[in-house]
Amino acid sequence: MKRPLVGTFAMALFGATAVTGLATTPAAAAAPPERDTAQDVISKTVDRVVPGAAAKPPKAGAPDFAGTVALSNCSGSLVKMPGSQPGDPGLLLSNGHCLEEGMPSPGQVIVDQPSQRNFTLLNASGGNAGTLTSTKISYAAMTDTDVSLYELDSTYEEIKSETGIDPLEVDASHPTQGNAITVVSGYWKETYGCSIDGFVHELREDGWSFKDSLRYTGECDTKGGTSGSPVIDNGSGKVVGVNNTRNENGQECTLNNPCEVDEAGNVTVHEGTAYGQQTYTLTPCMGAGNKVDLNLPDCKLPKP
């Protein structure tokens, strides 16, 4: 998974000291390692923002950084659903494998779990617009998808008043193959522009399995720390996915090396290819007040 910092879960699992590329980044060099072992990270991840990182301006016409966030080990975004109201508590979208307590096990689904976590909200140029704080994990899973959705302690109108930032909107429709997209990383303050190359019946990585994943064209050469970044359709400006993994070195179905499995069970490997998980599946599961309701008739998200 394009987890925390490198490959897939690299940073989430092993901390900054284990991540190639992180130590050579000037901004990250000043930051202490989060953890030394996988077990430590699974027990607790300390929120930390890469200090002093200068944003790389997005290409002309591409989405900017407004509404994206930096986590301690990943990226994310302030989002609203089609039915969200200004007075609803804000929602923060990232990956399931970016949870502060570690990655959910295959089959594990987390709903309405208390969580007080801070997120650095960015403005259009990648500057610090303020701090968001969660009250709970509304939903998180690494089964069929790789997503975490936090509920914040502030409403959209309060966030707008305090920071001037509007949320990104999650598209309720299935994305379209060939559309131009941008992966916007709040952690690295970098953007990656490419197109949707296609959709993967099953994306398998170690013990996890994801359905109908987005496959990017090669221009989206994502890296660790881009986990949880919103995948934005350039035409609509809406979120159509959440970035989560990349095949690092051509291995088959191993950690940091996801493989594709078709309907007939045939396995293929695309070294260097990056992937995201679709987010339109979240929208039928949102009830009034931005509350996740897995019992809604059209909700297909995995249940506990």
**Looking at residue 33, what is its pLDDT?**
28
**Pick from 156, 134, 217, 147: which is nearest to 182 by CA?**
217
List of domains in the chain: 1-304 (2.40.10.120)
**Looking at residue 27, what is its pLDDT?**
34
Q: Which helix (H) or strand (E) holds 51?
A: none
CA distance to 19, 80, 246, per residue, from 55 (Å):
21, 24, 23
Per-residue pLDDT tens over the stretch 71-112: 999 999 999 999 999 999 999 999 999 999 999 999 999 999
Dist. CA 181–CA 257, nearest whole Å: 23
Average pLDDT for 240-246: 98
Using the structure block, give the residue that is written with the tokens 């430590």.
40
- What single-letter amino acid sits at 25? T
Using the structure block, give the residue that is written with the tokens 């617009």.
129
Whole-number average pLDDT of the chain: 86
Please report which confidence band the pLDDT of residue 186 belongs to, taking 50, 70 and 90 as the band edges. Answer: very high
**Looking at residue 53, what is its pLDDT?**
59
Q: What is the pTM of this model?
A: 0.86
Q: Which helix (H) or strand (E) holds 277?
A: strand 274-278
Phi, psi (rounded to 5 degrees) for 131: -115, 130
Residue 169 near residue 66, CB atoms below 8 Å = no
- Residue 95 CB-half CA count within 13 A: 36
Per-residue pLDDT tens over the stretch 189-234: 999 999 999 999 999 999 999 999 999 999 999 999 999 999 999 9
